[in-house]
Amino acid sequence: MARYTIKNLKKDVEDQAPKFGLSPGLEGRFASQELQCENFGMSYQRLAPNFRIPFGHKHARQEELYVVVGGGGRVRLDDEVVELEQWDAVRVDKDTTRNFEAGPEGVEILAFGAPATGPGDAEMIPGWWSN
């Protein structure tokens, strides 16, 4: 394997949101494979203005770090809702159910997770943030 990998998140990584019926409200580019990550996962997510991800999720093993790189919004962490703005960083342990809602300008997030676990580590909770 190469000692480094360079990919453009917008050009080289496919948006997965359309496959799950979440487009155009969500853009989700999961870049771990394209970047050949061995020990962590990485994604770029863009939520349209006022869009709320319609499910919560938590992990069996993976801790995550989210960094707001544009716009702002809110994150729900179990039963707590927290306002976020550009450059806020949120670390979430594996057992905390979470997801995001964009503010009126939308929100762009970089997400990092470790250890690298693949797609089977996440538990999706439909309708979790419904009010």
Domain assignment present for 95 = yes
Peptide bond into 24 cis (omega under 30): yes
| Residue 72 pLDDT > 90 | yes
Give the SS3 label for residue 37: coil
**Which CATH number do you get for residue 67?**
2.60.120.10
Domain assignment present for 98 = yes
Q: What is the pLDDT of residue 56?
A: 95
Measured in whole angstroms, the distance separating CA 20 from the mean position of its chain's CA atoms is 14
Render pLDDT for 21-60 as a digit per residue (tens, 0 to 9).
999 999 999 999 999 999 999 999 999 999 999 899 999 9
When divided into structural domains, the chain yields a total of: 1
Q: What is the pLDDT of residue 119?
A: 75
Which domain covers residue 82, as residue numbers? 17-126
Domain assignment present for 2 = no
Render pLDDT for 83-119 as a digit per residue (tens, 0 to 9).
999 999 999 999 999 999 999 999 999 999 999 887 7
If we measure between CA atoms, which residue out of 57, 88, 91 comes closest to residue 72? 88
Q: What is the pLDDT of residue 46?
A: 98
Domain assignment present for 92 = yes
Domain assignment present for 104 = yes
Domain assignment present for 7 = no
Domain assignment present for 9 = no
Domain assignment present for 83 = yes
Q: How far apart are the first and last CA of the chain?
A: 47
Render pLDDT for 117-130 as a digit per residue (tens, 0 to 9).
877 899 999 999 88
Query: 13: which DSSP letter?
Result: S
Q: What is the pLDDT of residue 7?
A: 97
